[in-house]
Structure 1
Amino acid sequence: MERIALLKNLTEAFGISGYEEDVLNILKKNFVGQDTLTKDRIGSIIAKKVGKSEKPKIMFAAHMDEVGFMVKEITKEGFIKFIPIGGWWVGNLPGLRVKIKTKKGEYIPGVIGSKPIHELSPEERKNLPKVEDLYIDVGATKNFNVKEKFGIKPGDPVVPETEFIPLGNSDLYMAKAWDDRVGCGLLIELLNNLTATEHPNTVYLAGTVQEEVGLRGAKTAAYAIAPDIGFALDVSICRDTPGNDAEAVEKLGGGVGILIYDRTMIPHSKLKDFVCELAEQNNIPYHFTSIKGGYDTGSIHLTNFGVPCLALGVPSRYVHSGATIISLEDYENVLNLITLIVKNLDTETLQQII
């Protein structure tokens, strides 16, 4: 599938944590024909690509889930109270267009509502609203019973309603769920690159579930794979917008984001050095970055006796909101780097790393 069409399909797919089926089906379609294709009991999918050697076993993980919401309850007036799934800043919520997926598979459009500014007291205007005071409006009126008309129930998943679009700068694309459909796209394109290339190892491509609520799918997938080396493919943070350091290296067009710290893992230093040397030898731009959140490698690196791991990111603006922006140039640089990693990471190199 052509890249833009693939990324559009992935980002527009519906899939909060625990409801990743639509994304899984896209990966499954693109993984068909590999040596083995398995699915664990909580929903992660793993494709195995055998090279010239069974080892080292290299795991690339990208999570299929996106941040969103879950229906908590429906008020007697027909408004929908919700639970945030994943990390949300409440300031991004009022006015956000969303859609709810019912048990029947129907999509119900709505908007997150709040008290209008005209009705806020001077004191209320000083503070952000509380999530419990917000609600989703799907068209409730006195004579329109939302429960009966739509069949919406507690537990139904909700995602932002955002179209995948190119911006005026043709290298930049805006969509929901780049976190982490960008990683899912990289898994598919890495596999395409390896199909016609010999590599001295065996590669496992894992589309994981429930990363946004605790790196859960990565834990079960890594247990199934027992990798020798692990990588998370995800977004990294841009710091190139107003209010940040004007000289920040974490920017659109900044190349591969190499994580030196997150709250779940400090990367393996020798693996990091190996990847940086590869990037430098092949003129692939990169920068070091950190984040207060975590990546799938936070679970992978604790598997069995330990797994050297590194997280690689595509720099992204406005992560964990209804619309995020990435650069296709950065995406291409990450793809080129991970392809080189697979071509060069043999048993001898593994021994030097560990």
Structure 2
Amino acid sequence: MEELITKLSNAHGISGSEGNIRTILEEDLKPYVDEMRVDKMGNLIAVKKGEGPSIMLAAHMDEIGLMVKYIDDNGFLKFVKIGGWYDPTLHSQRVIVHTTKGPIPGVIGSKPPHVMKPDDRKKPPEAKDMFIDIGAKDKEDAANMGIIVGTPVSMDREVKKLANGKITGKAFDNRAGCAILIDAMRQIADMDIKATIYAVGTVQEEVGLKGARTSAFGLNPDIAIAIDTTIPGDHPGISKDDSVLDTGKGGVITIADAAGRGIIAAPQVIKWLVETAEKNEIPYQTDVGDGGTTDATAIHLTREGIPSTVISVATRYIHSPVEVLDLADLQSCSDLVAKAALSVNDYF
């Protein structure tokens, strides 16, 4: 799993530009499925055929990033945020600008504090006051490098090991889910599973759950599991009132998120996953959150309704270039997804 998450995280694919990630999923899922296609939205749909209930396993491929809005006369790039950034996180970061001629490095700059007024230094920096410096001489020079309006930009960061089985990197939200999807399908391929499995890499989750909505409508599965990341409460600055979850204590089964405004999972779905985890001695945690939503929110409201929930990895510092997760949690999630597919006929 470490090699898999590293490959996926180090690759780049902001919302709307998921092609690099889709290629990895296509290559890694191919041995474990019967057919594969890309739909009109760009979702990857891999199918393992069966006769039992159909299960949609959805992992979004996109990461939050930036997009070039315009190039000023001096060759600096102004940008908009794609996805949910906390603006100070962007300040002074290295980035990769994905031009029509290939990727080039850049840095996010802003007015230096030395020339700020005292009141300005007390305020957190805002993205509207930042720009990307690629070393261009002027606007024409930047254009000659292949930069156009709409050029996607991602963070320049690679996975590094921390102590005690933890790793840090960018885009674990949701390359962790993609890694789990691949490994779970690897396990499923060796099991006598009756269900039809739709392994779906969805697009544009970070900007409105868009790929999940369209792919679920087309597939109309009997049950769905979104595979994603979630927020733990095990580091300074956050308390158990905010999150009862811990990294390293197993995958997370969502009972409700966004205080029920996102999804409230059907009791039978929770029973299925909890009992499967306990029977197979797979570490797990359960969560009722009041924060964000996932692809499951869009999926469970599709057509006449699809019983759904989320299996996720507790990940520190989500939506930053230095997210942290525990490799053991990745494996727990993968094992739970695979064993749940094996036991689904006992519950549905």
Contact 2:299 2:308 in 1 (8 A): yes
Percent identical pairs in the alignment equals 39
1:28 Cα offset (Å): 0.7
Contact 2:2 2:327 in 1 (8 A): no
What amino acid does structure 1 have at the position aligned with 2:265? Answer: P
- Residue 259 of structure 1 corresponds to 254
What amino acid does structure 1 have at the position aligned with 2:114? Answer: H
1:78 Cα offset (Å): 1.1
Contact 2:54 2:223 in 1 (8 A): yes
SS in 2 for 1:16: coil
1:146 Cα offset (Å): 3.4
What amino acid does structure 1 have at the position aligned with 2:274? Answer: C
1:145 Cα offset (Å): 4.7
CA displacement 1:25-52 (0-9 Å, x = unmatched) = 011112224222111101001111123x
**Relative to structure 1, is the Cα distance of residues 256 and 158 closer, same or farther in structure 2, using a 3 angstrom cutoff?**
same
CA displacement 1:281-309 (0-9 Å, x = unmatched) = 33222222325211111111012110000
Contact 2:88 2:126 in 1 (8 A): no
Whole-angstrom CA distance in 1 between matches of 2:94 and 2:106: 6
- Residue 88 of structure 1 corresponds to 85
**Relative to structure 1, is the Cα distance of residues 261 and 122 closer, same or farther in structure 2, using a 3 angstrom cutoff?**
farther
Q: Which stretch of structure 1 is more off in the superposition, 185-194 or 279-288?
A: 279-288
Contact 2:136 2:142 in 1 (8 A): no
Whole-angstrom CA distance in 2 between matches of 1:280 and 1:196: 21
1:269 Cα offset (Å): 2.3
Alignment of 1:46-125 (within 5 A): 46-51=45-50, 53=51, 55-104=52-101, 106-125=102-121
1:224 Cα offset (Å): 1.8
Whole-angstrom CA distance in 2 between matches of 1:148 and 1:156: 11
1:148 Cα offset (Å): 4.0
Structure 1 portions without partners, runs of 5+:
none
SS in 2 for 1:213: coil
**Relative to structure 1, is the Cα distance of residues 291 and 322 closer, same or farther in structure 2, using a 3 angstrom cutoff?**
farther
Contact 1:146 1:152 in 2 (8 A): no
**Relative to structure 1, is the Cα distance of residues 66 and 56 closer, same or farther in structure 2, using a 3 angstrom cutoff?**
same
1:240 Cα offset (Å): 1.1
Q: Which stretch of structure 1 is more off in the superposition, 313-322 or 25-34?
A: 25-34
1:5 Cα offset (Å): 2.5
Contact 2:48 2:198 in 1 (8 A): yes
CA displacement 1:51-86 (0-9 Å, x = unmatched) = 3x2x30000000000000000011111111001011
- Residue 160 of structure 1 corresponds to 155
Whole-angstrom CA distance in 2 between matches of 1:114 and 1:288: 42
- Residue 245 of structure 2 corresponds to 250
Whole-angstrom CA distance in 2 between matches of 1:344 and 1:172: 30
Whole-angstrom CA distance in 1 between matches of 2:53 and 2:187: 19
- Residue 9 of structure 1 corresponds to 7
Alignment of 1:271-286 (within 5 A): 271-286=269-284
Contact 2:268 2:347 in 1 (8 A): no
What amino acid does structure 2 have at the position aligned with 1:90? Answer: D
- Residue 132 of structure 2 corresponds to 136
Divergent runs of 4+, >6 A: none
Whole-angstrom CA distance in 1 between matches of 2:183 and 2:143: 44
- Residue 229 of structure 2 corresponds to 235
Contact 1:40 1:220 in 2 (8 A): no
- Residue 327 of structure 1 corresponds to 326
Determine whether 1:146 maps to 2:141.
Answer: yes
- Residue 293 of structure 1 corresponds to 292
Contact 1:256 1:334 in 2 (8 A): yes
What amino acid does structure 2 have at the position aligned with 1:120? Answer: M
Whole-angstrom CA distance in 2 between matches of 1:156 and 1:162: 19
What amino acid does structure 1 have at the position aligned with 2:170? Answer: K
- Residue 200 of structure 2 corresponds to 206
1:13 Cα offset (Å): 1.1
Structure 2 portions without partners, runs of 5+:
none
In the comparison of the two structures, how many residue pairs are matched?
A: 342
What amino acid does structure 1 have at the position aligned with 2:264? Answer: I
What amino acid does structure 1 have at the position aligned with 2:272? Answer: F
What amino acid does structure 1 have at the position aligned with 2:70? Answer: E
Q: Which stretch of structure 1 is more off in the superposition, 258-267 or 297-306?
A: 258-267
TM-score by length of 2: 0.94
Whole-angstrom CA distance in 2 between matches of 1:160 and 1:112: 10
